[in-house]
Amino acid sequence: MTANEWKWTSRDGLEMYARGWTPDGQPKAVICLVHGLGEHVNRYNHVGQAFTGAGYVLQGFDLRGHGRSGGLRGHTPSYESLLNDISDFLADAQKRHPGLPVFLYGHSMGGNQVINYALRYPDGLRGVIVTSPWLQLVSKPGVILSFLLKIISAIFPSFSQPNGLTLADISRDPEIVSAYAADPLVHDKISARLFTVMEANALGALEHAATLKVPMLLMHGSADHISSADGSKEFAKKAGSIVTLRIWQGLYHETHNEPEKAEVIRAMLDWISGHL
- Asked if 106 and 112 touch (Cβ cutoff 8 Å), the reply is yes
Considering the domain 2-273, what is its CATH architecture? 3-Layer(aba) Sandwich (3.40)
- Asked if 51 and 269 touch (Cβ cutoff 8 Å), the reply is yes
Q: Please tell me the distance from the alpha carbon of residue 224 to that of residue 181, in angstroms, as a whole number.
A: 19
- Asked if 252 and 36 touch (Cβ cutoff 8 Å), the reply is no
- Asked if 103 and 30 touch (Cβ cutoff 8 Å), the reply is yes
Written as tens digits, the pLDDT of the chain (276 aa) is 899 999 999 999 999 999 999 999 999 999 999 999 999 999 999 999 999 999 999 999 999 999 999 999 999 999 999 999 999 999 999 999 999 999 999 999 999 999 999 999 999 999 999 999 999 999 877 766 677 878 888 888 888 888 989 999 999 999 999 999 999 999 999 999 999 999 999 999 999 999 999 999 999 999 999 999 999 999 999 999 999 999 999 999 999 999 999 999 999 999 999 999
Residues annotated catalytic, as ranges: 108, 224, 253
Compute, in degrees rounded to 10, the torsion defined by CA atoms 158, 10, 133, 185: -70
Q: Could you give phi then psi for residue 3, rounded to 5 degrees?
A: -110, 130
What's the pLDDT score for residue 64? 98
